[in-house]
Structure 1
């Protein structure tokens, strides 16, 4: 395979796989932030329930 064919193969591979990888990475980062927020909220609710149960 000559250099031109190798370059074309590389460009095709990036075109086929680069976009899905970029979208997946973006979504994982967004979901990670939301999951962290949910964990904090669940912790706060658990603390409130513990305090209310002691009364």
Structure 2
């Protein structure tokens, strides 16, 4: 029984840490995606200057 509880606690902690990190990374990945899209728009304007 102690072995089962130890396994549950260890796996639960690992799942909690992984979930926390995924949520934090998701927000940062969204911001990074927006920045890359914005950079693409700027690069497109530079590549095709309006005369």
Whole-angstrom distance in 1 between the partners of 2:29 and 2:47? 27
Deviation at 1:13, TM superposition (A): 3.0
Which protein has the larger Cα radius of gyration, Structure 1 or Structure 2? Answer: 1
Match of residue 27, structure 1, among 14, 21, 37 = 21
How many equivalent pairs are there? Answer: 48
- Superposition TM-score, scaled by structure 2 size: 0.78
**Counterpart position of 2:48:** 54
Question: Mapping of 1:34-53 within 5 angstroms?
Answer: 34-53=28-47
Whole-angstrom distance in 2 between the partners of 1:41 and 1:32? 14
Runs of 5+ consecutive residues of structure 2 not aligned to the other structure: none
Whole-angstrom distance in 2 between the partners of 1:25 and 1:16? 14
